[in-house]
Amino acid sequence: RKEVEQDPGPFNVPEGATVAFNCTYSNSASQSFFWYRQDCRKEPKLLMSVYSSGNEDGRFTAQLNRASQYISLLIRDSKLSDSATYLCVVPYNTDKLIFGTGTRLQVFP
Amino acid sequence: DAGVTQSPTHLIKTRGQQVTLRCSPKSGHDTVSWYQQALGQGPQFIFQYYEEEERQRGNFPDRFSGHQFPNYSSELNVNALLLGDSALYLCASSVAFDGPWGYTFGSGTRLTVV
């Protein structure tokens, strides 16, 4: 089993739609988790972190299910500017980041 | 406040050659990590440097080596380049023992091996 697994997509959604991305991880000892956003040919940037059951920031909600070793990212009211690749990230030994392959989102008018 | 600076931004090399990539960390950061991102993949951890020593290493061959200087800047060296080494190489800086929340990534060096 891969350390971090994501559905690569792409997800093609219209503006205003709600979209959810899923991620599973194998290290049951992990305590914190991240979602990063990466625009085409750019560096990854931290979008959200989640430590307990969930975290909400505006249109973005990250949820964690430790029993199932599952993380999700929900984007409500999608904007054209949300088009990017979303990377699920699990820290290992507090210093090394393990990235999923990323889920590509394309929001169309 | 300068963020993480990487150079060069793009590079084309021939199989078998050697390459050196450079990274200057964000001001106040003392730890540098290097990642390789192949097309369509997530970044893969290569290694991390702290106090001028390699602190952790991922599953990369010895052809990949690095160095950290007293001013915390770092270099990534790759010898005997293979076509499969073509990727975006990302440098991330952080503060040691602060955990992963403070990671800052540079914009990367895009290496093409022909």
In tens, the pLDDT along B5-21 reads 999 999 999 999 999 99
The CA distance from B68 to B74, in Å, is: 4
- Written as six digits, the tokens of A97 are 């980041």
Nearest-by-CA chain A residue for B33: A96
Interface check B59 vs A, CB under 8 A = no
Whether residues B42 and A49 touch (CB distance < 8 A) is answered with no
Query: Do residues A105 and A83 touch, judged by C-beta distance below 8 A?
Result: yes
Task: For residues A90 and B61, give the distance between their C-alpha atoms in angstroms, rounded to a whole number.
Answer: 23
Cβ–Cβ of B105/A44 closer than 8 Å? Answer: yes
Q: Which secondary-structure segment (H or E) carries A7?
A: none
Cβ count near A20 (within 10 Å): 13
Q: pLDDT tens-digit profile of B80-105?
A: 999 999 999 999 999 988 877 789 99
CA separation for the pair A5, A25 (Å, rounded): 6
Q: Give me the pLDDT at residue A29, please.
A: 84
pLDDT tens sequence across A58-77: 999 999 999 999 999 999 99
